[in-house]
């Protein structure tokens, strides 16, 4: 018995170490930064359409309402201090957009990644009441990109370092923190899908295989008329229960190398379907970007480096430099 | 667990002490990540709620306090706010939140949609009946305080939404009508019912009138 637990502890620690602390090529993290950064920028840019209408002195979400909805004084936001000043709010908003754009481009990434995470969380706290799943995914992606070397590949930081001649061309140096950040995205995503699936088990329509009808026949969500599905109830059953099984089993089936491509491939129709038919394309894309954390860096390089290898920040030439810069 | 993410050639290696410290931080963080959806929304075990209470400050600070119950337990009806504005020239302007015709881009529409949903959720927190007789005097007092706070919150949110409409449209007075939009049965749609059939909208509550300049 004692030998068993000793072996269990030793093997468990070895596996834990291997899982979290094996240095990883930062190419995947760089790609996730680029795409998640674009979504973050767009998400915040859209507030510009009606910034004061939502968050301004006479906006739809007064500061006291946001704070009471949060039910915690720890739900901080720099926008609380600025909500009484329209000009102050605009200045802060434009600054936030500039920082987010720098983050997308991978410019001063060590600083802008942290600031981008703070911006995402701060806006989410301030805009409580107008949020949905997109903001949650943005929040955790920004958080993990802030702790990893998100600018080590496909970034202006890498390009600038190469231009300075600080490094030689070649593959990016694997980094432990690149692995930690990717692992956190992966594990967090598994938690999201697990609870999304388990929560559905409480609902009759998921068991009955009709839930998808409830989603597609909701006029407020609808952007694509899917009511033709009414003629294909078995298809609704199949799609509903495929989603349910996929969400619940994602946490297990995404890890084996052979099954991973299949599991990730199923994410594409699911999230693009939600995006196209239910008007939540930004959310669908954010979830797909999170899924990219499972894509091996070799594949990312094989696809992107021929395009970006000689472009600013192309991983093939500059990522080692960005390892120092970002 | 198997994957092909990693390469160790020429890579940095961490000391055992560093790995132990980071492992502890990771374990705490992951406990926070998992305990949020484990503890809520209800139903959830008391154990989950007790564990979550330990991590709640961190979850709030880092915006990790989510249940991730997308379209669960069932995709339900949505909620909209119809409004009627009295303009200075006496005309009446009617509209809805969210409005697919005017709220653009789609993400801005979705923000308005979520606000209508929040108004509904706040409204459902307001008790519609008197405190149960079985409560003690102190419990009744707490119940009434909570009911009063919930009522105040929903009124405050409705008023803010109403005043923003007055600013937008230059109106004098506005009334808001919170409605539930039921999902039609497949057989009704097959028989020709539209998803926005007026019969699918049910009034839930009315707010206002709110007037320009008054508070």
Provide φ and ψ at B203, rounded to 5°.
-70, 135
Task: Report the distance separating Cα B57 and Cα B63, nearest Å.
Answer: 10
The band of B4, judged by pLDDT with boundaries at 50, 70 and 90, is: very low
B95, B72 Cβ separation under 8 angstroms: no
Residue B47 clears pLDDT 90, i.e. is over it: yes
Q: In what order do the strands lie in the sheet with B173-181?
A: B92-97, B78-86, B173-181, B201-211
pLDDT at A167: 58
Residue B3 clears pLDDT 80, i.e. is over it: no
Mean pLDDT of B41-58: 97
Q: How far is C-alpha A258 from the geometric centre of its chain's CA atoms?
A: 24
B59/A contact by beta carbon, under 8 A: no
Task: Tell me what percent of the residues of chain B surpass a pLDDT of 70.
Answer: 93
Residue A311 clears pLDDT 70, i.e. is over it: no
Residue B161 clears pLDDT 70, i.e. is over it: yes
The band of B209, judged by pLDDT with boundaries at 50, 70 and 90, is: very high
Residue A323 clears pLDDT 70, i.e. is over it: no
Facing A296 at nearest CB: one of B4, B72, B195? B4
pLDDT at B28: 98
Mean pLDDT of A21-47: 97
- pLDDT tens digits for range B64-123: 999 999 999 999 999 999 999 999 999 999 999 999 999 999 999 999 999 999 999 999
Residue A202 clears pLDDT 70, i.e. is over it: yes
Mean pLDDT of B172-177: 98
pTM of the full structure: 0.93
Indicate the average pLDDT of chain B.
93
The band of A318, judged by pLDDT with boundaries at 50, 70 and 90, is: very low
- pLDDT tens digits for range A74-85: 999 999 999 899
Facing A136 at nearest CB: one of B4, B11, B66? B66
A188/B contact by beta carbon, under 8 A: yes
Residues 150-169 of A with CB under 8 A from B: none
The band of B2, judged by pLDDT with boundaries at 50, 70 and 90, is: very low
Residue in A219, A273, A291 to test binding to B, most B beta-carbons within 10 Å: A219
CA of B135, closest CA in chain A: separation in Å?
A: 25
A234/B contact by beta carbon, under 8 A: no
CA of B32, closest CA in chain A: separation in Å?
A: 11
Q: Which residues of B touch A195 (CB under 8 A)?
A: 37-38, 67-69
Q: What's the complex ipTM?
A: 0.93
Residue A278 clears pLDDT 80, i.e. is over it: yes
For residue A162, what are the CA distances in angstroms to A24, A309, B94, B142, B212?
Answer: 21, 12, 60, 65, 60
pLDDT at A173: 85
Q: Return the half-sphere exposure (C-beta side, CA atoms, 13 A cut-off) of residue A195.
A: 22
Say if residue A80 is exposed, middle or buried (CB neighbours under 10 Å; 0-12, 13-18, 19+). middle
Residue A312 clears pLDDT 80, i.e. is over it: no
pLDDT at A164: 82
pLDDT at A326: 29
Residue A130 clears pLDDT 80, i.e. is over it: yes
Task: Report the distance separating Cα A258 and Cα B60, nearest Å.
Answer: 38
pLDDT at A319: 41
Beta bridge partners of B211: B173
Q: Which residues of A touch B22 (CB under 8 A)?
A: 20-21, 180
Tokens of B8: 């160790």
Tokens of A263: 């599991």
Q: Which residues of A touch B167 (CB under 8 A)?
A: 53, 58
B66/A contact by beta carbon, under 8 A: yes
Cβ within 8 Å of residue A249, ≥6 positions away: A197
pLDDT at B121: 97
Residue A46 clears pLDDT 90, i.e. is over it: yes
Question: Is pLDDT larger for residue A167 or for residue B75?
Answer: B75
Per-residue DSSP letter, B83: E
């Amino acid at each position: 018995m004692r030998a068993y637990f000793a072996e269990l502890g030793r093997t468990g620690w070895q596996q834990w170490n291997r899982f979290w602390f094996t240095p990883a090529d930062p190419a995947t993290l760089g790609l996730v930064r680029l795409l998640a950064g674009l979504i973050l920028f767009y998400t915040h840019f859209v507030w510009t359409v009606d910034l004061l209408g939502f968050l301004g002195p006479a906006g739809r979400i007064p500061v006291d309402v946001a704070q009471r909805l949060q039910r915690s004084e720890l739900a901080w936001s720099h926008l609380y201090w600025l909500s009484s000043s329209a000009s102050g709010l605009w200045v802060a908003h434009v600054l936030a957009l500039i920082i987010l754009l720098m983050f997308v481009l991978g410019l001063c990434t060590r600083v802008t990644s942290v600031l981008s995470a703070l911006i995402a969380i701060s806006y989410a706290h301030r805009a409580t009441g107008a949020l949905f799943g997109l903001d949650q995914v943005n929040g955790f992606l920004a958080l993990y990109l802030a702790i990893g070397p998100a600018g080590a590949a496909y970034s202006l930081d890498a390009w600038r370092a190469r231009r300075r001649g600080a490094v030689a061309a070649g593959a990016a140096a694997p980094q432990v923190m690149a692995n930690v950040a990717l692992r956190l995205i992966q594990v967090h995503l598994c938690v999201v899908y697990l609870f999304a699936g388990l929560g559905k088990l409480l609902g009759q329509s998921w068991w009955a295989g009709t839930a998808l009808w409830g989603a597609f026949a909701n006029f407020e969500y609808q952007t694509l008329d899917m009511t033709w599905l009414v003629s294909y109830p078995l298809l609704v059953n199949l799609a509903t229960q495929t989603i349910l099984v996929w969400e619940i089993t994602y946490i297990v089936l995404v890890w084996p190398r052979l099954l991973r491509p299949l599991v990730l491939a199923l994410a594409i129709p699911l999230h693009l379907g939600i995006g196209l038919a239910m008007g939540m394309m930004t959310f669908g894309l954010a979830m797909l970007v999170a899924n990219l954390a499972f894509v091996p860096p070799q594949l990312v390089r094989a696809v992107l480096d021929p395009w970006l290898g000689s472009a600013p920040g192309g991983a093939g030439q500059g990522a080692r430099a960005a390892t120092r810069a970002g | 667990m198997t994957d092909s993410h990693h390469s160790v050639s020429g890579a940095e290696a961490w000391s055992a002490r560093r790995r132990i410290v980071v492992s502890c931080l990771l374990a705490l963080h992951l406990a926070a990540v998992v305990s949020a959806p484990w503890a809520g929304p209800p139903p959830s075990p008391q154990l989950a709620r007790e564990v979550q209470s330990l991590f709640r400050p961190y979850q709030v600070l880092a915006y990790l306090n989510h249940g991730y119950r997308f379209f669960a337990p069932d995709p339900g009806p949505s909620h909209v706010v119809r409004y009627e504005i009295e303009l200075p020239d006496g005309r009446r302007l009617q509209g809805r939140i969210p409005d697919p015709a005017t709220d653009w881009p789609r993400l801005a529409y979705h923000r308005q949609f979520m606000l209508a949903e929040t108004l509904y959720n706040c409204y459902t927190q307001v008790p519609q009946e008197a405190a149960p007789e079985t409560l003690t005097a102190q419990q009744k007092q707490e119940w009434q305080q909570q009911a009063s706070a919930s009522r105040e919150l929903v009124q405050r949110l409705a008023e803010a939404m109403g005043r923003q409409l007055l600013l937008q449209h230059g109106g004098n007075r506005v009334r808001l009508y919170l409605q539930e939009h039921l999902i039609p049965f497949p057989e009704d749609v097959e028989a020709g019912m539209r998803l926005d059939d007026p019969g699918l909208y049910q009034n839930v509550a009315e707010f206002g009138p709110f007037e320009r300049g008054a508070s």
